[in-house]
Amino acid sequence: MSAQRLSGTAWLRELKSDPDPATVLVCFPPGGGSATAYRALAQRFGSGTAVFGVQYPGRQDRLGDAPVPVLTELAALAAADLLAWPKAVRLAIFGHSMGATVAYEAAHRIEADGRELSHLFVSGRPAPAFEETARLHAGPDEGLIADLERLSNDPASVRILREEPGLAELVLPAVRNDYRAVETYRYAPGAPLRAPITALISSADPTTSVAQAGQWRDYTAADFDLATFEGGHFYLDLPENLSAIAGLITSTLAGTLPDRSNGAVDLPR
């Protein structure tokens, strides 16, 4: 059965299919982002890996769906879709920025259901106990635009939101919703994950220091690793980093591949 048949679910969009995947990697987008944020990265994976992106409501083909302003609710809804997959599916999760925290909360729900998660990859985000002090979600549009501009690899592409009111009206509601989700999130202490965690960080990320990324080690009872890349907050969008990121994920997962001697693991129809 093909991974392609999963692309029609409410929360998941297929980014890279594989006829016989050893692992299904599910990617959670950053704030204001969509499933297609990972399209370029997905294409850098070789055979054996199927890649799906999570599609948050209120954007792209879910523009008509009401956004979810509470991060833990967002995680619970996405996790419910993943829990519908057969237990034979070997699942790994990746999240960047806001997506890292959503992925972590989703991972907790997956493990609480008795499912095994092969790995959690978190990128560009402090560990969950970190609390945002900014309240940009409650301020004017200009504050949101300025922050997007600060973090972007291409600030000129963000400035157009000031010049095109129609575009801003389309884009900013999802951005504001996601800023609210991040800025109001409060970590509820619990047991560490059974799954190992790898934290990815860039050398010039203004939102997350290497020390903050290293604190993710406290959230797993298994192995932890930390990888550093060149670039700013959106280092994973830089073409020169894509193959290295995909290679890191692939080699990490290859270290714990299951015995497949009894045949391939089929994805559900």
Mean pLDDT to the nearest integer, 85-90? 86
Say how many domains are in the chain: 1
Q: What is the pLDDT of residue 151?
A: 87
Domain membership flag for residue 267: no
- 218-246 residue pLDDT tens: 999 999 999 999 999 999 999 999 999 99
Count of CB atoms situated within 10 Å of the CB of 202? 23
Catalytic positions are 97
Task: Please check whether residue 22 lies inside any domain of the structure.
Answer: yes
Pick from 127, 144, 132: nearest CA to 184: 132
DSSP for 65-110, written as a single string:
SPP---HHHHHHHHHHHHHTS-TTS-EEEEEETHHHHHHHHHHHHH
Mean pLDDT of 88-107: 96
Q: Is the residue at 146 inside a domain?
A: no
**CA–CA gap between residue 141 and residue 161 (Å, rounded):** 10
Question: What is the extent of the structural domain holding 97?
Answer: 3-131+189-254
- Strand extents, DSSP E, 5-58: 12-16, 23-28, 49-54
Lowest model confidence (mean pLDDT) among 53-67, 101-115, 191-205, 248-262: 248-262
Give the helix ranges, DSSP H, for the chain.
Answer: 39-42, 71-83, 98-112, 141-151, 155-163, 165-183, 210-214, 239-254
Q: Is 180 contained in some domain?
A: no
Q: What is the CATH number of the domain that holds 13?
A: 3.40.50.1820
β-partners of residue 220 are: 193
Tens of pLDDT, residues 149-201: 998 888 888 889 998 989 989 899 999 999 999 999 999 999 999 999 999 99
For residue 268, tell me if it sits in a domain: no
Distance CA 212, CA 229 (A): 15
Instruction: Classify residue 114: in a domain, yes or no.
Output: yes
Q: Is 71 part of a structural domain of the chain?
A: yes
Residue 259 forms part of a structural domain:
no
Alpha carbon separation from 184 to 21, 177, 233 (Å, rounded): 37, 11, 21
In Å, what is the CA distance from 24 to each residue of 88, 118, 206, 217, 220?
11, 10, 31, 23, 21
Say if residue 20's pLDDT is above 60.
yes
pTM: 0.91
Angle at 124 between CA 7 and CA 207, to 5 degrees: 135
C-alpha 202/C-alpha 267 separation (Å) is: 34
Rounded mean pLDDT of 83-101? 93
**pLDDT on residue 27:** 98
